Amino acid sequence: MIWAKRLRLWRGAAAACGLSVEGTSSVWTWRLQLRARAGPVEVRIEGAQPGNVGTRIVIVAPWPPGFSEVRIRPDKLFKLREPDALGISTGDSAFDQAFIVEGPLRLIGGLLDAEARRLLLDLNNKSLVVIAHGELRAEIFDHQLSSVLPLLLALGRRFAQKTDIVNCLVENLRRDPKAGVRLNNLLLLVHECAWGPKTEEALRIACSDRSSQVRLRAAIEMGPEGRGALLKLAESMKTDDCAAQAIRMLGRALTFERTTAILDQALTKNRLQTARACLEALGHSGTAEAVDALVEVVEEDGKLADAAALALGMTGSPAAEPPLIEILHSKGKRMILHQAAAKALGRVGSVVAVLPLKEASERFPRDPYFVQVARQSIAEIQSRLPGATPGELSLAGAETGQLSLAQAETGQLSLASDPTGQLSLTAEEPGQLSLSGDEESPQPAPEHTR
């Protein structure tokens, strides 16, 4: 009989894998089945459906806690049924494209080491393999049994051995060949496990990882102890985006001298992300030295001149205003640099910058973005003037260069309508500032306000 022949085939495959057959169903029952065992691992080989030549292998073992919630399904089948199913990313792109993975994050990370992923990919090429409801299942034809059963048994035994998931994550971080998997295991250790000696060990291991991304994340998670690793990443510039992130994480811990040294190297090596991060760091430092260094980058008018102009605005230093105004007056500069200078003046400019902003917006009427930025910057400058309220600061239309507030009340700023355009303090009302036609009246320098 055909079923008797199938049973003999199944017995032979089980014996070849070292399984002890515990029983079979009668050939007269509605579904043919063979039950076998190898230690704690139970195996069922059964006909997929009555009268069907297809065969199903089912493996059950004493799995780690939470295994019943794990679902691993081939993408080629279940993406068609559930197009919105995304699953968990393991960090191994080839594996993630082949399977949809669901379940407890920490357990998934510990289970799916390099060997487990290899076994699943091999099984996926030879059968329809699914993990669900605490079972490993594979749908095959009888002639595939001898090649699929050993792989499925190896996977089952491997999963059954994963009793200490935290230790599994540490080992995966230490040994997995995929940087994305190592990074995922590091994040799981830090965020999904209780902090302890194993987590600290993992961070130390990761700080020496061959992947810049893994080293960066480990250094960030270590806090102040990771600054040395961050500095090495910033200075090595092997990976542009990692070096830039390291600089931003170091913040004020990165000295001016080291920042400018890294900036010079980044500009030489065309590491634009690193250079931008250095310019931002100089801007946040707010020192006179930083202003000089940023002006130098602006004057070179290279790819990062606009970033340097924006960083000048970050400094909050009065010394940053003149070079930014000079950009507005200049001709032949790229429009993006004019826009950056106008935006920066909104943060660092004083009343002195209002007229240049107005004139520049009149020179570029066809650039609505620049006009909008200039108006916004004028409004920001106005908001910093003592006694001013929104809408009070305006440029007079009668004579070029005149500036006024809508209403001149005590403590408010106003510019007289005299064509002389001179700025002076009037004696009529305390605290008023106006334009006077008297050339001998005192001429106080306009204040820079932040």
pLDDT in tens, 204-263: 999 999 999 999 999 999 999 999 999 999 999 889 999 999 999 999 999 999 999 999
Q: What local confidence, expressed as pLDDT, does residue 432 receive?
A: 43
For residue 114, is pLDDT > 50? yes
Q: What local confidence, expressed as pLDDT, does residue 24 receive?
A: 87
318-332 pLDDT, tens digit each: 999 999 999 999 987
Token reading at 251: 């913040």
Token reading at 443: 């001429």
Per the CB < 8 A criterion, the answer to whether 276 and 304 are in contact is: yes
**398 vs 173: CA distance, rounded Å:** 72
Q: Which residues pair with 244 in a beta bridge?
A: none
Token reading at 105: 């994050």
Q: Pairing between strand 422-425 and 20-24?
A: unpaired
If you ran DSSP here, which 8-state letter would residue 51 be given?
T
Q: What local confidence, expressed as pLDDT, does residue 431 receive?
A: 41
**374 vs 387: CA distance, rounded Å:** 22
80-101 pLDDT, tens digit each: 445 455 789 999 999 999 999 9
Per the CB < 8 A criterion, the answer to whether 180 and 91 are in contact is: yes
Buried b (16+ CB within 10 A) or exposed e, 60-71: bbebbeebeebb
Q: What local confidence, expressed as pLDDT, does residue 31 receive?
A: 75
pLDDT-derived band at 433 (thresholds 50, 70, 90) equals: very low
Averaged pLDDT, 275-292: 94
Q: List Cβ<8 Å contacts ≥24 apart for 258-266.
A: 258/231, 259/285, 260/293, 262/234, 262/235, 262/237, 263/293, 263/297, 265/235, 265/237, 266/237
For residue 201, is pLDDT > 80? yes
**170 vs 173: CA distance, rounded Å:** 5
**67 vs 86: CA distance, rounded Å:** 20
Element (H, E) at 78: helix 75-81
Q: What local confidence, expressed as pLDDT, does residue 419 receive?
A: 41
16-59 pLDDT, tens digit each: 999 999 998 765 556 789 999 999 999 999 986 655 568 999 99
For residue 202, is pLDDT > 60? yes
